[in-house]
Structure 1
């Protein structure tokens, strides 16, 4: 199977496999959404089956919930779990301070709620997602359908005074119809090129009537696990305010068995 995986797939697998080791018996865990998070869910499913790992999981999307059910993970709502020990999720971009852009998969609202209801957030990713300045990836902003064009106009007006390179906004589509989130909302994707002050932009965007949430994750992530195509993994921990870096190696041959193990 590893021969059929792209280098990016191998990198994502390595980071997800490493992150799964942080999940301990009895934990309440938030499960992210996206391709890297799906590797995590499968690995945790294998641990549940083969090691008897007992966890309670809160998925951030219906897609993740379905996969978690399929691999035998006990899934509950966030209201049932109340608070989480750990959330593990991917990112579309991250910088040196672990500020993130998320929401490329359309689950940014649930992802942010779950992450902020956790004692710790670990980001699993590949090297291509690391940037010097956020903004090359379009910033998702979730808006309610009612009056979304008015919300879009207000956002465009606000962007004129923000420290960004570009100011293009577009409604995310699903074929000929607007893309609809799990909460029944729309997403505006902001092509900004570069974001000079993520904290300020996040606060200002959330003041716009009709905006539910934006995809900037500021002061939420504690650790990033960066996988590489050869199975090398870099762990950066910023939870105590100083960057602590360690390295591990994941045996990629394990990926050949992950589906058989489930």
Structure 2
């Protein structure tokens, strides 16, 4: 089964878990978009929900497919967020932000009673860090922030390239107007320590380590959909 088919299957499985009346956080990325398409089918069949999108891209797709939307200001407490991940470990600690929406994704996930992660089984890892860690930073003082990130990593034994994300020759700009640094630290033995160190840097707006937020995961593989709980 190819990647697109796996995403479609896991999107359908996640949509099947949505109950009428739910206030939903709706994630960003290709797997989350598969969920939106499956959710739209259920909405067309009479499912009543309201969704809070985590990006302008997701919002546009929801509007195109007729999924009812609200802002987080209008619906500040959510029942469930469904979103993808770039990596997840056995404790359902995540690396997210490959699509550039990590700040809004984390705000929405934190406002939710539960977070359901949807991904293909290849995203499961023993240790986080093979996927470069996205770090959202303020454009002001970017060089100082890069130096501080490098020092924070070094104190934890983490080294590797720090790259400012670009689209062509121009810096990638998030929906919130920030920049993203992709940190290729490699294996991250202590994600909690790295999270605290990055949060201590004034220029860091947020980072892509999602710790203690995911309640469960649906992982699509050749043998079907696996339901995973943290352990």
Q: TM-score range by the shorter chain?
A: over 0.9
Find 1:80's aligned residue among 74, 77, 80: 74
CA deviation vs aligned residue, 1:187-217 (integer Å, no higher than 9, x gap): 0000011101001101110110111000000
Partner of 1:217: 210
Q: CA deviation at 1:15?
A: 1.2
Q: Could you say what secondary structure the match of 1:195 adopts?
A: coil
**Alignment check: 8 A CA contact 1:32 1:64 kept:** yes
Give the match's secondary structure for 1:78.
coil
Q: Following the alignment from structure 1 to structure 2, what is the Cα–Cα distance between the partners of residues 23 and 237? A: 18
**1:25 corresponding residue in structure 2:** 20
Q: Structure 2 length as normaliser, TM-score? A: 0.97
Aligned residues: 231
Aligned partners of 1:142 and 1:187 also within 8 Å? yes
Instruction: Give the C-alpha shift of residue 124 in structure 1.
Output: 0.1
Q: Which has the larger radius of gyration?
A: 1
Instruction: Give the drift of 1:236.
Output: 1.2
Aligned CA-pair RMSD: 1.1
* 2:87 aligned residue: 93
Contact 1:126 1:226 in 2 (8 A): yes
Alignment correspondent of 2:6: 11
1:135 CA drift (Å) = 0.4
Q: C-alpha separation between the residues in 2 aligned to 1:233 and 1:157?
A: 41
Q: Distance in 2 between matches of 1:206 and 1:188?
A: 14
- What do the CA deviations read for 1:15-54 (whole angstroms, capped 9, x no partner)? 11101111110100000000000000011111111x2111
Q: CA deviation at 1:149?
A: 1.1
Say whether the 8 Å CA contact 2:92–2:229 is kept in structure 1: no
Name the CA distance, whole Å, in 2 between partners of 1:102 and 1:215: 5
Could you say what secondary structure the match of 1:160 adopts? helix
Q: Given the alignment, which residue of 133, 138, 141 partners 1:139?
A: 133
What CA deviation, in whole Å up to 9, does each residue of 1:52-100 have, x standing for no partner?
Answer: 1110100000000000011111111101011000000000000000000
TM score, norm. by length of structure 1: 0.86
Aligned with 2:226 (options 229, 234, 241): 234
Match of 1:66 among 35, 46, 60: 60
> Which residue does 2:107 correspond to in 1?
113
The match for 2:185 is: 192
Tell me the residue number matched to 2:116.
122
SS at match of 2:24: strand
- The alpha-carbon deviation at position 229 of structure 1 amounts to 4.2
CA distance in 2, matches of 1:75, 1:163: 44
CA contact under 8 A between 1:12 and 1:228: conserved in structure 2? no
Shift of 1:167: 2.4
